Structure 1
Amino acid sequence: MSLFDDDFYSSKVSRKTLREHLGNRKRGGRWLGRLRNQKSVQLVVLSSVTTVLVIAVLYGLLFGFSPSSRHGSSMDFSARAVEASDHIRPAVVSIINEQKFSLELGGGPLEQDAEQSGVYREIGVGSGVIVQKDEQYAYIVTNYHVVASAHRVKAVLTTGEQREAEVVGLDQITDLAVLKVDAAGIGQVAEIGDSSKLRAAEFVMAMGNPLGMGEAITFGVVSVIRETVPVSLAQNGVLDWEQEVIRVDAAINQGNSGGPLVDLNGRVVGINSMKISNFGVESIGYAIPINNVMPIVSELIDSGYVSRAYLGVMMLDLQQYWSRQELEAEIEGESTLNLPQEVYEGIIVLEALGPAKEAGLEFNDVIVKLDDTKIRNTRELRRYLYNQKQIGDSIVVHYYRGKELLTATVTLGENKPE
């Protein structure tokens, strides 16, 4: 007898065994088929769910999912922009700059303190945003250059109502101004954000009154979080100060100045200030970071001006003088400096006032150093004075009087407005 069961291993299989074997295969095949079908369905479902989740996450990352969003969850990008706009819009105002003109034929603008009869005419428009309110007044932030030359200022609310605005304080250095209007009926005050938390490529909106056309919103991204650009305080083409700004590609047109730069949570992160408008340049605008704005606003509301160290010199860049000398062989009323040949950068004292006069500085002295810091132009003098010195500090001024290098110790005063 074989060690194996012939009915199982032999090539000769009985019909009964064959029927039983085939029956078991059919039942097993149906079971395996059902199992394979179930696994296929599960795989399809799992793949679909995974795809949906991946798309949702990517959509959220690209279009506004943020733990700090107003509702703490992802929202439709367009809906977030609309909500942010609705949140801030009632606090945005238009600013009208008016000057008084003579009634005489061909009469020009009157002086600021003129008492003569005349008529007010609109000479410029800008924007502003309400950042503070008490029982009596609502306080509006705008740009210095929007209202600096105004004889009268009006604020236009989003309802279309015009209100007389009073200038609380101006600061040319930061290009900021604060106005106040009657608070009656004003319920919305802008929510202030944190400009230090801005990120490159973050979406922002510039709001205001471009070209006097009324309320408008432009959209873009933050290009550079922090940038320093040279500016002309007198707007005469002479670059005599440096402004710290946020660069954006949202359109900032004439009239947008002073309006808010807003994030997608409806919070003010900057004050629109200027743009580059050279031929071939597209969408390069600048806003003053709100973290720089609010301390100035508080000081303007409290004091009407920003207190800074005061040297007391009317000045001209030495390089400007050389340029002028090249254009004109002799300038009437302007004496020759007679400086050493190697001195070609510095600050010419046109008039010494207050602290500088008391220390002995005179007309045509040329300042070349403050303490141990070389001074080549007005920008560098202001930067050192405003960033490194306080009222009451002493400063050593190194200057040339003709070919002689002298020093004077100046006790800095305060730049109180006249």
Structure 2
Amino acid sequence: MNEFHDPSQDEKQEENSNYESHNPIETKQKNNPWSIWLSGITGGITVAIIGFLLLFTGFIPLHTPEQTEEDLQTDSTDHQLIQTTTGDDGVSEEVLSNVSGAVVGVANIQATDLWSDAGESGQGSGVIYKIENDRAFVVTNHHVIEGANEVEVILQDEERVEAQLHGSDDLTDLAVLSIDAEHASTVAEFGSSSDLTVGQSAIAIGNPLGTEFAGTVTKGIISGLDRSLEVDLSNDGTADWVVDVIQTDAAINPGNSGGALINSSGEVIGINSMKIALGTVEGIGFAIPIDEAEPVIEQLETEGSVTRPFMGISAIDFSSVPPQHIDQTLNLDPNEITSGIVVAEVQPDSSAADAGLAVYDVITDIDGEPIHDMMDLRQYLYSETEVGETITITYYRDGAQEQTDVTLEGE
């Protein structure tokens, strides 16, 4: 996440155990019958004032007994048990405790230069989803471990253990780690995100702001399904990819990235990934649907990367080409051709080279589907095609429209 201070404790005030015996209204009621009527009015006004202040300010102007120091323990185990208490959503304390036990911290360790010792550059969360042989496998976000020289998993007792990175994928923002199985005893169960409905309960579990609040549980609902968000992977101000996410109002804060979003059965339905961090926005967080995450997790675990269809070209958006080059270099009428991608490089011995594509070709369609920019190209190739499939490309060369077939390779 691409995006908070400790709560303070007030000194506990001494309560007055003799409140009733010091009530002047009670004393006067014995001698004055009008006081009964007046006390009723007074009591009604008092209740009305309190209700008004509670409704419109959120505060009751009366002393409320503070929690004891024991109630406010921040020990990771006790903190987890306090937060797993549930209301009327049908989630048992035992279920939440089990899932919380599978959520760990993930620390990104980096060296800033060759002469510096490696230090922690950030923390996120992760979910233990499988124990196999002598390894426990953890899914987290790509952006949590991006650029790391080392990765550590932080257990609930705050012990840190070295993690092995099996693979990471920036497009889906997922990564898979593993640790020695002796450090894991609980595994989270994957559910399904295909049958979710707007309004059903959603519970986020993670480590917001780091290990101090490890195992934090926040409750909300599914606020939206099939949300599409544009992301800028190259940080150049241009969207490179569109991700499909689950929207929730369960609190997701920095450090929650990579944690679990679960349903009322305690099943993982999403991997928490990002939120909208604006002062004017509250309660808009997003998670990667588990149905989309599972095949990626499997590939990262077994192969180290995700294999996707590849043509063998590098290209730029047609909209970024200066007008004089559209006319003089590409030999196109800018009023006739307004979008597409311009081939900047064709890799030798690639499918694109075999199909005859060349530098300065302007691709406008694939299989009859308009390609307006590079994001359209990625979306079509990665979502609509498979490795080994043959596609038909429509392109312009020197002002003339042509077509060619390209058999997709795997990258």
TM-score interval, normalised by the smaller of the two chains: 0.7 to 0.9
Q: Give 2:343's aligned residue.
A: 349
1:172-321 alignment, distance < 5 Å = 172-212=170-210, 213-215=212-214, 216-319=216-319, 321=320
Aligned twin of 1:80: 91
Q: Is 2:394 the partner of 1:401?
A: no
3-state DSSP of counterpart to 2:380 = helix
Partner of 1:385: 381
Q: Which moved more, 1:267-276 or 1:358-367?
A: 358-367
Identity %: 39
Deviation at 1:78, TM superposition (A): 7.6
Aligned to 2:166: 168
Read off the aligned partner of 1:374 and give its amino acid letter: P
Q: 2:120 aligns with which of 98, 122, 125?
A: 122
Contact conserved, 1:311 with 1:356, CA < 8 A, in 2?
A: yes
> Could you tell me how far apart the structure 2 residues matched to 1:103 and 1:299 are?
33
Contact 2:89 2:264 in 1 (8 A): no
User: Runs of 5+ in structure 1 lacking a partner?
Assistant: 1-74, 105-117
Greater Rg by CA: 1
Higher-RCO chain (CA-CA 8 Å, sequence separation at least 6): 2
Q: 8 Å contact 1:83–1:266 — kept in the other structure?
A: no
Residues 142 and 362 (structure 1), Cα distance of their counterparts in 2 relative to 1, 3 Å cut: same
Q: CA offsets, 1:47-73, max 9 Å, x none?
A: xxxxxxxxxxxxxxxxxxxxxxxxxxx
| 2:105 match | 94
Do the aligned partners of residues 77 and 405 (structure 1) sit closer, same or farther apart at CA in structure 2, a change above 3 Å counting?
same
Q: 1:126 to 1:237 in 2, by over 3 A?
A: farther
Contact 2:166 2:301 in 1 (8 A): yes
Counterpart for residue 111 of structure 1: none
Deviations 1:20-74 (A, max 9, x none): xxxxxxxxxxxxxxxxxxxxxxxxxxxxxxxxxxxxxxxxxxxxxxxxxxxxxxx
Farther-moved stretch of structure 1 (185-194 vs 132-141): 185-194
Return the TM-score normalized by structure 2: 0.72
Cα gap change, 1:305 to 1:281, in 2 (>3 Å)? same
Secondary structure at the counterpart of residue 384 of structure 1: helix
The 3-state SS of whatever aligns with 2:133 is coil
Shift of 1:199: 2.0
Separation (CA, whole Å) in 1 of partners of 2:235 and 2:337: 28
Residues in 2 aligned to 1:217 and 1:236: alpha-carbon distance in whole angstroms = 35
Counterpart residue number, 1:110: none
Cα separation, 2, equivalents of 1:90 and 1:413: 42
Q: CA RMSD in A?
A: 2.3
State the secondary structure of the residue aligned to 1:191: coil
- Could you tell me which residue of structure 1 aligns to residue 141 of structure 2? 143
For residues 357 and 254 of structure 1, do their structure 2 counterparts lie closer, same or farther at Cα, with a shift above 3 Å needed?
Answer: farther
Distance verdict in 2 for CA 1:336–1:279, change over 3 Å: farther
5+ long unaligned stretches in structure 2: 1-85
- Contact between 1:84 and 1:263, CA under 8 Å: does it hold in 2? no
Alpha-carbon deviation of 1:294? Answer: 1.4
Q: Decide whether aligned partners of structure 1 residues 225 and 339 sit closer, same or farther in structure 2, where only a CA change above 3 A counts.
A: same
Kindly indicate whether the alpha-carbon contact (under 8 Å) linking 1:355 and 1:411 is maintained by their aligned counterparts in 2: yes
* Partner Cα separation in structure 1 for residue 237 and residue 178 of structure 2: 31
CA contact (8 A) 2:110 2:119 kept: yes
CA distance in 1, matches of 2:93, 2:236: 40
Residue 309 to residue 278, structure 1, CA distance change in 2 (3 Å): same
Kindly indicate whether the alpha-carbon contact (under 8 Å) linking 2:90 and 2:264 is maintained by their aligned counterparts in 1.
Answer: no
Structure 1 residue 257 displacement after superposition: 1.1
Question: In structure 2, what is the equivalent of residue 112 of structure 1?
Answer: none
Letter in 1 for 2:296: I
Do residues 358 (structure 1) and 348 (structure 2) align? no
The letter for the 1-side match of 2:277 is S
Q: CA deviation at 1:162?
A: 0.7
Q: Distance in 2 between matches of 1:355 and 1:270?
A: 36
Q: Distance in 2 between matches of 1:307 and 1:103?
A: 33
Counterpart-to-counterpart distance in 2, 1:256 and 1:169: 20
Give TM-score scaled by structure 1 length.
Answer: 0.71
Take 1:362 and 1:98, find their aligned partners in 2: how far apart are those partners? 43
Give secondary structure in 1 for the equivalent of 2:314: strand
Instruction: Tell me which moved more, 182-191 or 208-217.
Output: 208-217
Would you say the 8 A contact 1:317–1:347 is kept in 2?
A: yes
Q: How many pairs align? A: 319
**How many angstroms apart in 1 are the aligned matches of 2:246 and 2:87?**
26
Q: 1:394 to 1:79 in 2, by over 3 A?
A: closer
1:155 is the counterpart of 2:153: yes
CA distance in 2, matches of 1:86, 1:318: 53
CA distance in 1, matches of 2:393, 2:89: 57
2:194 counterpart SS class: helix
